Amino acid sequence: MVTKPTLMILGQFPQIGLNGYTDTILLNELDNRNIDVFIAIDGNIEYQQQFKDWSFGIIIIRSFSNRFMDLMHLKKELQSCIRSIKSFQIIHIP
């Protein structure tokens, strides 16, 4: 039986009390919170971190801007990636 993933939106780091931490500490904390997917706009993060250490999937959005309106055209692709991503997998959009 396939179960639908539960979607929990954590928000931006300042909103969840994780502002000002290093990437490694942030990613460890996210792993401790048992997230399934981490969505990043920082395309360099996969070269700065060893993602084999964390159990969640990573979706990296490549965009010239992180403004909401500049990302709206990626909505369907992002939804599809969220549904299909596996632990330890990295997916790039677009």
Strand 90-93 to strand 57-61: parallel, antiparallel, or no bridges (unpaired)?
Answer: parallel
Task: Tell the residue number behind the tokens 């677009």, with chain if given.
Answer: 94
Strand 57-61 to strand 37-40: parallel, antiparallel, or no bridges (unpaired)?
Answer: parallel
Cα distance from N-terminal residue to C-terminal residue, the chain: 31
Ordered per-residue pLDDT tens for the chain, 94 residues: 444 454 555 566 777 777 888 888 888 888 898 888 988 887 777 787 777 778 899 999 998 888 889 999 999 999 999 999 999 899 999 8
Looking at residue 1, what is its pLDDT?
Answer: 46
- Reported pTM: 0.79
Looking at residue 2, what is its pLDDT?
Answer: 46
